Amino acid sequence: MTECFLVFALAIALGWPLGRYLAAVMRGAPMRGDRLFGAVERPLYRLLGIDPAQGMGWKAYAAAFLASNLLVGALTWIVFMTQAWLPLNPNDAPNLRWDLALHTMVSFLTNTNQQHYSGQAQLSHLAQMTGIVGLQVVTPMMGLALLAATLRGLFGGRVAAGAAAPGGEADVGNYWADVIRPTVRVLLPLCLVASLALTWQGVPSTLQGGPVAVPIDAAAGMPAQKIPVGPVAPMVAVKQLGSNGGGWYGPNSAVPLENPTPLSNLLEMLAIVLIPVAITFMVGAFTGRRRLTALVFGTMLTMSLASAGAALWSESLSGTSGDVALMEGKEVRFGAAPSALWAAVTTQTSNGSVDAMHDSMAPLTGLVTIADMLINAIWGGIGCGLQQFLVYLLLGVFVAGLMTGRTPELFGRKIEAREVKLLAALVLLQPLVLLVFTAITLALPSIAGTSNPSFHGISQVFYEYTSAYANNGSGFEGLGDATPWWNLSTTLVLLLGRYPALIVPLAIAASLARKRVAPEGPGTLQVETPTFALTLIALVLILTLLQFMPVLVLGPIADHLALRAL
Amino acid sequence: MNTSAANPNLWRASLALALITLLGFGLSYSLLATGAGRLLFPVQAAGSLLERDGRVIGSALVAQPFADDRYFRPRPSAANYDAMALSGSNQARTNPDLRARIDAARAAVAAREGVTPADVPGDLLTASGSGIDPHLSPAAVRIQIARVARARGWPVAEVERLVAAQLEAPQGGCWGRRASTCWR
């Protein structure tokens, strides 16, 4: 309980100033530190050969996003497949097989960090420091950039000195500057501080591969124990802060070397929620509508507390908390309640790091984590969480407009057939992808690779695809997922979960930006009110239940009933 | 709208950003943070290693297996305490194999420590998430004291005193559970 209070109180207290700072960074406003940060940024812009002040239309912006993803992905894929021949490989990790390398690359490129490999044994220090950490730094900032562009579009585009971008499209900003500015001014400085704090608590920070220890009791039958170390702390810092989640070690932050103390656990949990919470404060300052922050923050906090409360209750207070198996998959230095809280916040924020094995948690805790990922907008990942929230917001306005018989409009701009069609396609993509892939995999037991029998096996498969589509990355890790089927099918799901979810809201915003603004009158639907926030929460719940109730009953709910019957 | 006209440097900028990502945001940041960490906290940075007679005998953050009665036993490990193969069991609560394993462990621990099966704490019966959890709950240490004292021929009070000295207080006085590094 203390942890729960501390995590939320600290995230809100620090997220408020951080969000306002983020807004200034994304607006390109003059600020203290311009000389220092400018000295870092200017050479980068020169290397890119771009003018950071140049505006872009939404299509150019999206093209830059996709092209930069393609090249950084290709480069990373090559590193993974050639790491054995490259330097800084003290533990002699072999090259990754092409399909595992592809899945790993796409998984980190989509800010998911689903892992079908174990880092301590299968990646070289160089691969971790360049491919893994590089993507963990840049992909959340790409998500943030897309959000900034979408918000600019929603309010008619940037009114910079140059006015509209070429081609008559609304100017939604400069993609390159939107990625580089927050990376240099926000994420990397935060990561440096977090990395040092984690090393202080015991997370390794060295270029060596680690010694082979000679254990104390020779009678126990283990003549040698390799202690895997490396530049772990910088990676864990950005893993937690950047809604990434992929750990240095296979079992992630459950490993004492990755998360050594209750204090490091608290810091890592705070790092999970910090930037996603800050973004809700950024939104108001960035758009100049404080009440928008109130709507976003209030809605997300309500859902977050409900989900965290449900996980805490299920894992540490309900009838199943007396189970002798309670500590299976958990670490003694954390215990049940902090592990449950972590499970809730890591799935709310599209982070996906874990400090206990979700596979071994109570079935209803599993239900909470799956529901968090299906909604994927309770804070959500950096940038993508707000994009998903905007999708729900537009749907909410549309549905409320239908119910009250008014033309649906958001911020004075009419939502018409084109926008609703795009929204519908995006919303329907989720059940289509998740249910079809889950059904195919379950129909072929030889490829499913489930490690637990019965209903929990269904949960394992559904969890894996849900996590991939939500770009979360956590898993019911007993699943035998390092196979070509799992690597390739989840690669596709990862891509489908990332790019449409970021680009479609931008396209809708750009389409709205071209419309005339109708002044708000007494007949206008007020969205920034508690009534509408509750309507929105109801819509999110109903939508999720309508689409996924059957599979949730077959998976975690049946699993819970089976546990009760034991 | 012509996308390439609006983005005259699309591919050059993309390639440059890819290189900056891997070498700048990735490698340079990692090297900087690693160097600073080593400088400020050399012991932790190296992996909290423990040495005896100039030889590394383990890490304070990695559990080891023990068989001799003179030592405290750590929690069960799904990875056989292999720090390169780290893993939890990932068995579901409804998995019959998990129940069978817990029942077998309960009988074995109760017989070894001379306590009733109901008195064996859960953390001694369940595999940790990492496979190398170096901590035990105070109760899980306590039931092993009598056996260790007997095997070493030490007074029970002496072992209890040593255990009390190893007990880690909750951090900051408010969060975290009391836990003990067990394996020395």
A60-118 pLDDT per residue, tens: 999 999 999 999 999 999 999 999 999 999 989 999 999 999 999 999 999 999 999 99
Euclidean distance between CA atoms A9 and A383, whole angstroms: 22
Asked if pLDDT for residue A165 goes beyond 70, the answer is no
In a domain, A487, yes or no: yes
Angle at A327 between CA A371 and CA A7, to 5 degrees: 55
Contact B177 A49 (CB under 8 A): no
Non-local (6+) Cβ contacts of A325 within 8 A are A360, B93, B98, B99, B102, B122, B126
Asked if pLDDT for residue A161 goes beyond 80, the answer is no
**Secondary structure (DSSP) of A12-46:** HHHHHHHHHHHHHHHHT---TTHHHHHHHHHHHHH
Phi first, then psi: what are they for B175, rounded to 5°? Answer: -125, 170
**Mean pLDDT to the nearest integer, A38-63:** 95
Closest CA to B56 of B39, B40, B43: B43
Are the C-beta atoms of residues B19 and A75 closer than 8 Å to each other?
yes
**Higher local confidence (pLDDT), A534 or A160:** A534
Total of domains in chain A: 1
Chains A and B: how many Cβ contacts under 8 Å?
Answer: 409
**Over pLDDT 70: what percentage of chain B?**
87
For an interface test with B, the pick among A128, A332, A360, A563 (most B C-beta atoms closer than 10 Å) comes out as A332
Asked if pLDDT for residue A353 goes beyond 50, the answer is yes
Query: What's the half-sphere exposure (Cβ side, CA atoms, 13 Å) at A308?
Result: 25
**Mean pLDDT to the nearest integer, A445-464:** 94
In a domain, A109, yes or no: yes
**Mean pLDDT to the nearest integer, A483-508:** 96
Contact B90 A329 (CB under 8 A): yes
In a domain, A220, yes or no: no
A509-538 pLDDT per residue, tens: 999 998 888 887 777 888 999 999 999 999
Q: What is the pLDDT of residue A162?
A: 44
B73-100 pLDDT per residue, tens: 999 999 999 999 999 999 999 999 999 9
Query: What's the half-sphere exposure (Cβ side, CA atoms, 13 Å) at A91?
Result: 26
Contact B13 A215 (CB under 8 A): no
Tokens for B76, please give them. Answer: 């069960």
Non-local (6+) Cβ contacts of A24 within 8 A are A31, A285
List the domain range (segments joined by +) for residue A341. 2-215+225-565
Q: Of chain B residues 76-135, which have a CB less than 8 A from chain A? A: 80-96, 98-99, 102, 106, 122-123, 125-135
pLDDT category at B172 given cuts 50, 70, 90 is: very low
Asked if pLDDT for residue A141 goes beyond 60, the answer is yes
Q: Which residues of A touch B10 (CB under 8 A)?
A: 63-64, 67
Instruction: Please name every residue paired with A413 in a beta bridge, in sequence order, or none if there are none.
Output: A410
What pTM was computed for the model? 0.95
Give Cα separations from B168 to A130, B44, B141, B146 (angstroms).
37, 17, 12, 21
Could you identify the residue written with the tokens 């999110």? Answer: A540
**Mean pLDDT to the nearest integer, A134-139:** 97
**Distance (Å) from the alpha carbon of B157 to chain A's nearest alpha carbon:** 24
Closest CA to A270 of A5, A7, A6: A7
Tokens for A205, please give them. Answer: 């920070």
Q: Is B169 on the interface with A (CB under 8 A)?
A: no
Asked if pLDDT for residue A555 goes beyond 60, the answer is yes
In a domain, A286, yes or no: yes
**Mean pLDDT to the nearest integer, A346-369:** 96
Asked if pLDDT for residue B169 goes beyond 70, the answer is no
Q: Which residues of B touch A165 (CB under 8 A)?
A: 6
3-state secondary structure of A130: helix
**Mean pLDDT to the nearest integer, B21-25:** 97
Q: What is the pLDDT of residue B176?
A: 41
For an interface test with B, the pick among A180, A327, A564 (most B C-beta atoms closer than 10 Å) comes out as A327
Contact B88 A477 (CB under 8 A): yes
B148-164 pLDDT per residue, tens: 999 999 999 999 998 88
- In angstroms, how far is CA A258 from the centroid of its own chain? 19
**Mean pLDDT to the nearest integer, A53-66:** 95
Are the C-beta atoms of residues A231 and B34 closer than 8 Å to each other?
yes
**Mean pLDDT to the nearest integer, A451-458:** 94
* A256 to chain B: closest CA residue: B61
Asked if pLDDT for residue A179 goes beyond 50, the answer is yes
Instruction: Please name every residue paired with B135 in a beta bridge, in sequence order, or none if there are none.
Output: B181
Q: Which residues of A touch B3 (CB under 8 A)?
A: 59-60, 63
Q: Which residues of A touch B169 (CB under 8 A)?
A: none
Q: What is the pLDDT of residue B171?
A: 61
Lowest model confidence (mean pLDDT) among A28-42, A395-409, B105-119 = A395-409
Are the C-beta atoms of residues A364 and A556 closer than 8 Å to each other?
yes
3-state secondary structure of B135: strand
Of B19, B60, B83, the CB nearest to A225: B83
3-state secondary structure of A493: helix
For an interface test with A, the pick among B2, B25, B66, B152 (most A C-beta atoms closer than 10 Å) comes out as B25
3-state secondary structure of B168: strand
Of B17, B81, B172, the CB nearest to A72: B17
**Over pLDDT 70: what percentage of chain A?**
98
E strand or H helix that includes residue B49: strand B49-52
DSSP 8-state code for residue B110: H
Asked if pLDDT for residue A160 goes beyond 50, the answer is no
Contact B40 A196 (CB under 8 A): yes
**Distance (Å) from the alpha carbon of B142 to chain A's nearest alpha carbon:** 15
User: What are the sequence ranges of the domains in chain B?
Assistant: 10-45, 50-170
ipTM value of the model?
A: 0.94
Q: What is the pLDDT of residue B170?
A: 62
Non-local (6+) Cβ contacts of A6 within 8 A are A266, A270, B175
Euclidean distance between CA atoms A31 and B9, whole angstroms: 29
